[in-house]
Chains A and B, each alone.
Chain A
Amino acid sequence: MKYIDEFNDPELARRLLDEIRATATRPWALMEVCGGQTHSIIRHGIDQLLPEQVELIHGPGCPVCVTPLEVIDKALEIASRPGVIFCSFGDMLRVPGTDRDLFRVKGEGGDVRVVYSPLDALELARRNPDREVVFFAIGFETTAPANAMAVHQARRLGLSNFSLLVSHVRVPPAVEAIMTAPECRVQGFLAAGHVCSVMGMAEYPELAERFRVPMVVTGFEPLDILEGIRRAVRQLERGEHRVENAYPRAVREEGNPAAVRMIEEVFEVTDRSWRGIGRIPASGWRLTDAFRAYDAEHRFDVGGIRTEEPAECRAGEVLQGLIKPTECAAFGTTCTPRTPLGATMVSSEGACAAYYLYRRMNAPAPQAGGGAQQEEVAPVA
């Protein structure tokens, strides 16, 4: 069996796969929500190891990928201003805005810094009182406790030169948007484990019931994913639609209450646009009025920036599971990790990048001069 020896416990993987094969009597389509899971699935060839009846649809769970173009352009604008230190996670450096990326802004003289944690950005603000330090606060529920703490600390320390460019998104409204889309084929979800480590599982039973879909909280190591699939398929075959926890070593029913309290103190729910998908009601967080002074959008007055996404990029459809990356005409030709058109080709959790890196055998041949330097990346198979 191709790939399987790469698993950390090939024997257990084989057993799980046998059980999935024995259980699935009909075709089922499952969506993995988390981009880390997508990456793991493609890297380990899990989708190709599964019996034909079980199809995995990749979901929108990559924060870098869903950050709207408009917000990227705001980041580029703020990062270009004199006196600003713009801090971001490394994954955001090459996400294309309308005409450049943060990497370019740095090349043009902007003070762009990569930090590992929002607290590092806070520390920079403390040490550079004469500069404005802005942190690019993107992410799902997993990242929100960190960003909430950073801004909470800024207020406590009386730091007035620190702010967040917030583009936080929440999983449950995205699940709802996916399930109510007319083209939706998803019959069950592998819910993102680390999101649930923070938020717990309370938001899911209502969704599972309303859309009659099993939701299995799943980790993102290969064996975790197989176990999640096994449980989801078993529920589907039995006609059940429950919330199940297949990742109990990291997820408690109640999540992390201290982290949730901090999120609720600093953020409030708001509508958000998702790159390529559009506006989803109640799908994000913004700073509450009490913390509005730390909102970089207000501080730098970039509210007016409006943008349009490149027409050839189909990342929105990829993120909603409507097409596979290889169905995009630009995939592997005009769009490669070196010349990305969309964020899904940039981020290590993006579906297009995962397919490009590990499925290059299925990609169209790169055109001469197209810049596709595939030889640098070792394939798994």
Chain B
Amino acid sequence: MCLAVPGKVVAIDDSADPLTGLVDFGGVQKQACLEYVSDVRVGEYVIVHVGFALQRLDEESALASLKLFEELGLLEEEFGDAWEQAEKEAGTA
């Protein structure tokens, strides 16, 4: 959960309070709270932690991080099924 993952803002819901948008993390799309980066635009990259965008990031660094996270299996860890993972770890799966 400590991971902060870069993603691309693909849609913004201006009517939502707090401000919310759809963020794409290398194919996985999730809603994120954009209130702390409230002037962000569609197409920009942000660093998202537990569903909250915390800072903007340039595209080049964002894509490099995402590629690395994917290679390391960290995206699966962050967005995959936690129960499945816990069962596997506990040896009960």
Question: A-side interface residues toward B, CB under 8 Å?
Answer: 8, 34-36, 43, 61-64, 89-91, 93-94, 103, 114, 116-120, 139-140, 142-143, 145-146, 149, 153, 194, 197-198, 221-222, 249-252, 256, 258-259, 262, 337-338, 346, 348-349, 371, 373, 376
Contacts and interface: CB of A to CB of B under 8 A. Distances in A.
A43 B77 CA distance: 15
Contacts of B35: 149, 258
Name the 10 nearest CB pairs between A and B, nearest first. Answer: A90-B82, A117-B51, A89-B1, A114-B82, A93-B86, A146-B52, A259-B36, A194-B4, A197-B55, A146-B50
B41 interface: no
A94 B1 contact: no
B49 A249 contact: no
Name which of A222, A250, A251, A256 has the most chain B CB atoms within 10 A of its CB.
A250
B2 A250 contact: no
B51 A116 contact: yes
B4 A103 contact: no
Contact of A89 (B50, B87, B88): B50
A36 to B, nearest CB: 5
Contacts of A249: 57-58, 61
Interface in B1-59: 1-4, 18, 30, 32-33, 35-38, 47, 49-52, 54-55, 57-58
Contact of B51 (A120, A139, A142, A373): A120
Contacts of B88: 376
B82 A146 contact: no
B57 A250 contact: yes
Contact of A371 (B47, B54, B91): B91
B54 A256 contact: yes
Given A149-B35, A256-B36, A139 B1 contact: yes
A149 B79 contact: no
Given A89-B1, A103-B90, A142-B2, A258 B52 contact: no
Given A43-B72, A256-B54, A258-B36, A143 B91 contact: no
Contacts of A120: 51
A143 B50 contact: yes
19 contacts: A63-B2, A91-B1, A93-B82, A117-B51, A118-B50, A120-B51, A139-B2, A145-B54, A146-B49, A146-B52, A194-B54, A197-B54, A249-B58, A250-B4, A256-B36, A258-B38, A259-B52, A338-B91, A371-B91
Contacts of B54: 142, 145, 194, 197-198, 256, 259
A146 B4 contact: no
Contact of A221 (B47, B68, B83, B90): B68
Contacts of B50: 89, 116-118, 139, 143, 146
A39 to B, nearest CB: 9
Name which of B35, B54, B64, B67 has the most chain A CB atoms within 10 A of its CB.
B54
Contacts of B85: 90
Contact of A153 (B4, B18, B32, B36): B18
Contacts of B51: 116-120, 146
Name which of B2, B3, B58, B87 has the most chain A CB atoms within 10 A of its CB.
B2
Contacts of A348: 77
Contacts of A143: 1, 49-50
Given A90-B1, A116-B79, A262-B36, 5 more contacts: A89-B82, A119-B51, A149-B18, A250-B61, A259-B52
B67 A8 contact: yes
Given A90-B1, A146-B50, A249-B61, A338 B90 contact: yes
